[in-house]
Amino acid sequence: MIDNNKVSQALIDSLPYLRKFKQETIVVKIGGAALFKENSKESLIADLCYLITVGIRVVVVHGGGKDADQLSKALGREPRFVEGLRYTSPEDAEIVEMVFSGKLNKALVALCTTHGVKAVGLSGKDAGFIEIEPRSSSKGEDLGQVGRITKVNVGILNHLLDGGYLPIISPIASLDGHSTYNINADEVAASVASAMKCGKLIFMSDVDGLMLDDKLISEMDLKEIENLAGDSRVSGGMLPKLQFTTEALRSGVRDVHFINGSLPHSMLLELFTDKGVGSKFTYSRRKRD
Amino acid sequence: MIDNNKVSQALIDSLPYLRKFKQETIVVKIGGAALFKENSKESLIADLCYLITVGIRVVVVHGGGKDADQLSKALGREPRFVEGLRYTSPEDAEIVEMVFSGKLNKALVALCTTHGVKAVGLSGKDAGFIEIEPRSSSKGEDLGQVGRITKVNVGILNHLLDGGYLPIISPIASLDGHSTYNINADEVAASVASAMKCGKLIFMSDVDGLMLDDKLISEMDLKEIENLAGDSRVSGGMLPKLQFTTEALRSGVRDVHFINGSLPHSMLLELFTDKGVGSKFTYSRRKRD
Amino acid sequence: MIDNNKVSQALIDSLPYLRKFKQETIVVKIGGAALFKENSKESLIADLCYLITVGIRVVVVHGGGKDADQLSKALGREPRFVEGLRYTSPEDAEIVEMVFSGKLNKALVALCTTHGVKAVGLSGKDAGFIEIEPRSSSKGEDLGQVGRITKVNVGILNHLLDGGYLPIISPIASLDGHSTYNINADEVAASVASAMKCGKLIFMSDVDGLMLDDKLISEMDLKEIENLAGDSRVSGGMLPKLQFTTEALRSGVRDVHFINGSLPHSMLLELFTDKGVGSKFTYSRRKRD
Amino acid sequence: MIDNNKVSQALIDSLPYLRKFKQETIVVKIGGAALFKENSKESLIADLCYLITVGIRVVVVHGGGKDADQLSKALGREPRFVEGLRYTSPEDAEIVEMVFSGKLNKALVALCTTHGVKAVGLSGKDAGFIEIEPRSSSKGEDLGQVGRITKVNVGILNHLLDGGYLPIISPIASLDGHSTYNINADEVAASVASAMKCGKLIFMSDVDGLMLDDKLISEMDLKEIENLAGDSRVSGGMLPKLQFTTEALRSGVRDVHFINGSLPHSMLLELFTDKGVGSKFTYSRRKRD
Amino acid sequence: MIDNNKVSQALIDSLPYLRKFKQETIVVKIGGAALFKENSKESLIADLCYLITVGIRVVVVHGGGKDADQLSKALGREPRFVEGLRYTSPEDAEIVEMVFSGKLNKALVALCTTHGVKAVGLSGKDAGFIEIEPRSSSKGEDLGQVGRITKVNVGILNHLLDGGYLPIISPIASLDGHSTYNINADEVAASVASAMKCGKLIFMSDVDGLMLDDKLISEMDLKEIENLAGDSRVSGGMLPKLQFTTEALRSGVRDVHFINGSLPHSMLLELFTDKGVGSKFTYSRRKRD
Amino acid sequence: MIDNNKVSQALIDSLPYLRKFKQETIVVKIGGAALFKENSKESLIADLCYLITVGIRVVVVHGGGKDADQLSKALGREPRFVEGLRYTSPEDAEIVEMVFSGKLNKALVALCTTHGVKAVGLSGKDAGFIEIEPRSSSKGEDLGQVGRITKVNVGILNHLLDGGYLPIISPIASLDGHSTYNINADEVAASVASAMKCGKLIFMSDVDGLMLDDKLISEMDLKEIENLAGDSRVSGGMLPKLQFTTEALRSGVRDVHFINGSLPHSMLLELFTDKGVGSKFTYSRRKRD
């Protein structure tokens, strides 16, 4: 129970942010707890509803996770590795698609609907809006049905947003109309944000943001990110995220945020408070907003 | 300084209200402190900005107050009374119009602009949108240039709202294109709200709401208002306000609120919290929302 | 290789049909071979492309088939039966959804895209457009997560059609935003056609149409269908199809067709030739068109 | 009677052409048999209806023919010649206009209406859409009221096309609002096609196309046309047609076709089959489409 | 040369008429001198331009006259009479169409264009907008190709008016897409005015209006017109005009006017002055306006 | 009473002007008699109504006059002068605003409404559409609350014009949302006309136009105006008006007119007659139109 003064203060404090973000498009990549833990998911959906209700255009991209592995295992399939990377066989791709596009995507869609948001699930196959080519390992070895995005056709996304619908994207695409390919969900989010020239791209995971020497980096600009190249403090998982961040900033996305989906309402707090709760990356350093 | 949890809680708690009020039109009658005390006025303007930014259509009606009396006195004019009611001579009407439409109205307009809201001041003369007839005293005696509203042409209001402008109305109209008439600002607010079939009509004054036996009445329905007829606990000033309230409710206005403009952000608190801070009147009793 | 005279004759012969069907909406339920046999599927997709290109609004509903059973079996699940009807456990529903919405639906979508048609896959969960209640057996026994349609919200379908997209519907819906329910695909097609007041509803299966005494019934009206009640010549599978047909005709669908998806281009032949190739049902008998 | 397989094959084969031509504008110059022989005319109108029904924007230009000469003769007028070219006196111009704009144009319009196409007859006088200057003979001698097009104002054409009407143009214009001038119908067609940046300009006459050494030329590009300059095999009548063709191609018309209006459905066959039946001219050589 | 006071007075006096007629549609039947005498025609066109420029929607219907007879005679054709009415043979119809639709119509169109008005000539054949049946003599004898209007499809007229074009109608229609029929131009004007629910229908001829006992009738209502039945003072030519007038008034046309096209600017004077210059007929008598 | 010939002549003579001015925007600065003398005002309003009715977009700017001085005197305030220029104290500014925006502006608005024109009164504060900075004397001394225009935001003006409303502007603005500033009404008119790229800017005062040696200058171009620099014949009041004229012409306003508001219907006469009645200024000399 919050006292009245704090309620009105919070609403009034949100006003400059509401003004700034109104009519903008925000792409949110959901991963980790926010996708799987019930209360984190509820908190996230509430935040999305809030953003949409105040007039922000939101696009969601989700990843997958252990569900696909579990189904594979249940079906008795043995994973195969190429240079330490998991190889995606046609059967793997089929399982991944069923879990991502059939189960996780539709579960998010249904949950949004119960909160009054008209969500529509898409994969890159729908309207052929994500175009890909096969991705190889860094040494050029075949990784199977893993794709690299060559183009995002934003027509269907804008059409749905214009109609008041929330697009929720599963990171799957088709190479030739017959083969199913798996894509990195962070890459999907960054490519969609770049193609739509979004105001914000938000990567939601299970960590608070970019941590250096156990300290959360609250803000960083493009130059500072580039200075991190080769910095051993940046853990493996952060490297590709930072790479997508720099690409998005260079393509015209105004801000990229890393936030923790386990923290209740981290999205609202990051977007609607002065200090935020995660890491914010911009092309060049300026006051947080 | 509010802690993060409370910020996010407040925003999320406002969601059902945002959903409900979105695209609705709200008429706010501003009187008393909210019109004259600097910090009350700033708080009010901030609230108006918030409502407009989240997509609510707002129309403001203001009253006048002591400014007109002061100018009359400075010009050496003697007030004249009919059955205890002040008679409005042509000279009085001219002074009232200069103070209301020229000074108070434009001051509110200018203040809104500094808060980023494009306000446009109107009086009932503009586009002839308020049509009136002369009002007599209850015994039929001539009160001079005091009008009773016969029709509100909402075209100019909707045109301005559609363009993203905030109409601010001064309670003055013209009888025949030449004579200037003064109108009760509460009557203007109620007539405009009825003509626009508004979701809410808010009367802002210097008291918390309807007080009976020193207790604030939080909610009341039409039947209960009617039962107050002849109730000696209802003070003189409240009687016409309750009369306008019943007329508005009967004309299709969903809710009428009485709130205290001296209380900071009373409008947001009344509209965006479960218990509210003033009195709420509805056609028939139901849960507050 | 067709000679020129036949080409021009065929195009000119199609003119009255083009005129009649233009701007109409047609719902096509795809089942059986058209969904699974490669050349039947290619022929079907070509027909859909043709319809869309000449300006007909098309909505596709697909069923499932043996894929879900195979996945169940691979996962070692034992089917359970209630009065001879298969019971749908939560695990079954999950498998059905993954196969229907994740695999079959997206495969159709991708195939359309390769033919230049921008298809978008939907299940009843998307935008919550299919509302359901649990369906029991005729004796009132619980069948698990099997739904009966209570309402179709056509907004998302019309929005996609207006944007030039082809909606492809998987017969799955959500009861409360959490539980996944399976629905009869014929029921989905009939309910969508009724809600949209379509010109035509086409049931595509592996038989030529309604067969009585080994003879294909080319045309039948509502009264004649009703006279078939209790007629032993109508096989089990045909009964519910005829029931959906009568409901659709009573709801304002102009024509219902049964056609054979194994017959190449059966949809074009049924729609664009005088004699057709399947069975056509209308409210009251009139010349085929 | 065509068998079903051929019907469906023909429709499906037309799909790539339908896709390509949809929303394009095609200008068809009708001359010779297609204008005067009853069955050729019926075949032509059917083809036009087909094109319009599948969503192609069509503009028709017709020439005249012997009718004007017959009326002249019946009125006892003697033709006068300048350098072998017929001189158009004011009386001649009046007769030509009555026959072209009053009789032939309205006959085509009425015939289209019976086929369900809402045609509207225009001459260059309507909305003053064709602007002209007097044309002299090559030696500069006065040819009377014969015009050369200086400008085509496409507003009225697009307005009619947008409303779903088929403009049918008679090759007559006014020099100053008082004098009536005759224009070469091929020039009208080419100028309209150029001004509208049409996809196709079709010259329909009584020969199969461009014949060289008794062989029909199926395709030719701009350079090849230019190489024909001075080629004695090109008969007199073909020379101006080829000249209009090169001007149209240079002005942005994609394809120019010469087809034989006596051949039934030659327009559909030329446009919707791979080999076509006439001559097709393009800016630079590429595969027929 | 008019002095300034009179100029400004005239403009200001026209204001109430401008207000009243703005956005209205007026149908003007032009006959007699206005069609054939050069200065009357110029005066008429100037009046039409004025009406269109101030925002009135104008539709013109013209008759024919002696031109058709002259051409018939020049071609050596003998008129044939049925009960004193001229019989229209197919050859007569062809001549009438060439003269009306080809010569007179296009001449008016071209003249308007020189005055800056974008006119478009139509006959009833265009877009098939006038539907007819054969008309017989009062004794039921065949009159040849003379039509009676059964329906006016106003779509093309409104489409042209919406685009800022002035439709000019020639009184010719087609019975079945092949035969050409002549229609009474007054009937065309009245039918078009009725179908469009016009504000005014104006019959322009060579007399000042309805004359009774050598006196111009300035105003008359429906009842008064009906009282004229059998009145020997009403000359033959006036009878059908009065009949069309009563039909138009009953169909919702507000005013019908008879004016003299020989009188310079009679249309402006009738419409923009208090007393008018012709006869005005209304459903029921009221002050002229 | 004007005879008919003169009426029709006047209307027809106005046609080329109607054509030329249609859809244009005209800014009219009203001062002097037109603002205060009853019959001049009525004549002016009639002219404005005429312009609006024939489709011209009109914006009015009014000045003030002696009313503000009278109120100041009645309130016992002593004027203070800086270099001979009146100093505007905060109290002066308040009085000026009350008189200009509250009394004069609304009186004009109400008068227009009685003539059927939907006028809406604005000051520069409304929607913050006039942005200013403080103006100093030529020697840089503080003049108090007198503003110089830095920007005109034409959005609200165009929005009102598009809705069919007549904006009437009071020459008052706000510096920071709190302080009220007085602006030269001629400057407001010129700045608005420049910002809107108007066709005409009309300065209406109590003199016939620019007088040199007691002769009215009928036309002058920019170069000629510049040659007047230092010409002693140009009286003090004319100097700033000519300065605003040159600025407006350089900013793209086509014509600037000086006319006498005491002369009845001077606006119509200046705009709709060949010779006009005032002075007309253009960028470069050409025939009056």
Kindly state the tokens that stand for C131: 């509302």
Give the count of beta carbons closer than 10 Å to the beta carbon of residue F240: 13
**Exposed, middle or buried by CB within 10 Å (0-12, 13-18, 19+), for A155?**
middle
CB D175 within 8 A of CB D134: yes
A200: DSSP letter: E
Band of residue C287 on the pLDDT scale cut at 50, 70, 90: very low
**Exposed, middle or buried by CB within 10 Å (0-12, 13-18, 19+), for F251?**
middle
What digits encode the pLDDT tens for the residues A178-229?
899 999 999 999 999 999 999 999 999 999 999 999 999 999 999 999 999 8
pLDDT at B288 over 50: no
Neighbours of chain E (3+ CB pairs under 8 A): D, F
What digits encode the pLDDT tens for the residues C100-142?
999 999 999 999 999 999 999 999 999 999 999 999 888 888 9
**For chain A, which residues lie within 8 Å of any Cβ of chain B, measuring from their own Cβ?**
2, 4-15, 18-19, 22, 46-47, 49-50, 53-55, 116, 264-265, 268-269, 272-273, 277
- Is chain D adjacent to chain A, meaning 3+ CB pairs within 8 angstroms? no
> What angle (nearest 5°) sits at the alpha carbon of residue F208, between those of residues F202 and F214?
135
Q: Given this model, what pLDDT does residue C154 score? A: 98
Put simply, the answer to whether B159 touches F180 (Cβ < 8 Å) is: no
Strands C130-136 and F57-62: unpaired
Kindly state the tokens that stand for D182: 């005759």
Q: Given this model, what pLDDT does residue B2 score? A: 67
What digits encode the pLDDT tens for the residues E78-115?
878 887 778 999 999 999 999 999 999 999 999 999 99
| Closest Cα in chain A, distance from residue C64 (Å) | 13
- Using CB atoms, pick whichever of E11, E13, E22 lies closest to residue F14: E11
> Which of C264, C284, C268 has its CA nearest to residue C219?
C284
ipTM: 0.94
**For chain E, which residues lie within 8 Å of any Cβ of chain F, measuring from their own Cβ?**
2, 4-15, 18-19, 22, 46-47, 49-50, 53-55, 116, 264-265, 268-269, 272-273, 277
B283: DSSP letter: S
Task: Give buried/exposed letters for A240-258 (b at 16+ CB in 10 A, else e).
Answer: ebbebbbbbbebebbbbbb
Taking one residue from B and the other from F, the number of pairs with CB-CB distance under 8 angstroms is 124
Sign of the CA dihedral with B204 first, then B210, B216, and B222 last: negative
DSSP one-letter string for C138-163: TT--EEEEEEEEEEE-THHHHHHHHT
pLDDT at A86 over 50: yes
| Closest Cα in chain B, distance from residue F245 (Å) | 29
Band of residue F288 on the pLDDT scale cut at 50, 70, 90: very low
Chain B interface disruption, residue of F41, F42, F120, most B CBs within 10 A? F120
Q: Given this model, what pLDDT does residue C84 score? A: 75
Over range C201-208, report the average pLDDT: 95
Put simply, the answer to whether C106 touches A101 (Cβ < 8 Å) is: yes
Kindly state the tokens that stand for E235: 């000359």
- Percentage of chain E modeled with pLDDT above 70: 98
- Using CB atoms, pick whichever of C15, C55, C264 lies closest to residue D8: C264
Tell me the β-bridge partners of F214: none
Over range F190-210, report the average pLDDT: 96
Band of residue D69 on the pLDDT scale cut at 50, 70, 90: confident
Tell me the β-bridge partners of F25: F57
**Percentage helix, strand, coil, to 5, in chain A?**
40, 25, 35
Taking one residue from A and the other from B, the number of pairs with CB-CB distance under 8 angstroms is 97
> 3-state class of E250 per DSSP?
helix
Cα gap D17→D274, rounded to integer Å: 9
* Cβ neighbours of B160 in F, within 8 Å: 159
Alpha-carbon distances of C284 from C196, C248, C252, rounded to whole Å: 20, 13, 12
- Using CB atoms, pick whichever of E11, E15, E19 lies closest to residue F10: E11
Cα gap B219→B236, rounded to integer Å: 20
What digits encode the pLDDT tens for the residues A116-149?
999 999 999 999 999 999 998 888 889 999 999 9
Phi first, then psi, for residue B9 (nearest 5°) are -60, -45
Q: Given this model, what pLDDT does residue D269 score? A: 95
Band of residue E274 on the pLDDT scale cut at 50, 70, 90: confident
Q: Given this model, what pLDDT does residue B289 score? A: 46
- Using CB atoms, pick whichever of F10, F53, F277 lies closest to residue E10: F10
| Closest Cα in chain A, distance from residue C130 (Å) | 11
Residue in chain A closest to B19 (alpha carbons) equals: A53
> Which of F214, F37, E120 has its CA nearest to residue D124?
E120
- Using CB atoms, pick whichever of B109, B128, B156 lies closest to residue F125: B109
Tell me the β-bridge partners of D268: none
Sign of the CA dihedral with A105 first, then A107, A109, and A112 last: negative
Put simply, the answer to whether D2 touches C4 (Cβ < 8 Å) is: no
CB B112 within 8 A of CB B57: no
Of C163-167, D65-69, D146-150, least confident by mean pLDDT is: D65-69
Cα gap B157→B148, rounded to integer Å: 20
Q: Give the distance between the most distant pair of CA atoms in chain E.
A: 62
Chain C interface disruption, residue of D2, D7, D49, D50, most C CBs within 10 A? D7
DSSP-H helix ranges across C116-203:
155-162, 185-195
- The residue among B150 and E77 whose pLDDT is bigger is B150
Cα gap D41→D30, rounded to integer Å: 10
Q: Given this model, what pLDDT does residue D2 score? A: 67
Q: Given this model, what pLDDT does residue E2 score? A: 66
| Closest Cα in chain B, distance from residue A8 (Å) | 6
Neighbours of chain D (3+ CB pairs under 8 A): C, E
Band of residue C2 on the pLDDT scale cut at 50, 70, 90: low
